[in-house]
Amino acid sequence: MQPNSPRCGGENAATMHWIVSSAWAYPALEVVHIVGIGLVLVCLGVLDLRLWGVGAGFEPGALARLALPVTLLGFGLAATSGGLMFAGQAGELLANRAFLVKMVLLACAGLNAAWFHRRGALLRGGRRAHFQTALSLALWVGVIACGRWIAYR
């Protein structure tokens, strides 16, 4: 799906005009979106590896205190840029199955993260924490795959 496609709706005319009238706006938003997702995945991956036994010399709580602000920054970048890209073509995206699946997977990833932190899994570790971290990574890979698939649906 291209931002300057004639199929794009006029849901948010000002945002859509900004996105399509600039040669760099939509690609720049995509770059910010990808950087945000990258920050989230790197931080989650580092914490997951620590829970799986890699880097046992690093205290999980200290590692989490370092990773959490970066994770939140990455999520903020991805959410903001994604919201701007969505604003220009909301109708088309809401009719796109890949987009809808991406949003469901994103919600599941958020619920999994909330459950993980609420039960103190970072400090406890164990099988359930291993399962949740693997589930988290799988959900994020699904979010990325669906995000790429949006352009082809």
User: For the chain, which ranges sit under pLDDT 50?
Assistant: 1-10
Dihedral of alpha carbons 1, 97, 81, 86, sign: positive
Question: Is 112 in contact with 20 (CB distance < 8 Å)?
Answer: no
Identify the pLDDT of residue 66: 94
Helix (H) / strand (E) containing 118: helix 97-118
Identify the pLDDT of residue 26: 85
Three-point CA angle 78, 83, 89, nearest 5°: 130
Identify the pLDDT of residue 8: 47
Tokens representing 85 are 């890209």
pTM, full prediction: 0.82
Question: Is 43 in contact with 70 (CB distance < 8 Å)?
Answer: yes
Identify the pLDDT of residue 1: 47
Identify the pLDDT of residue 18: 76
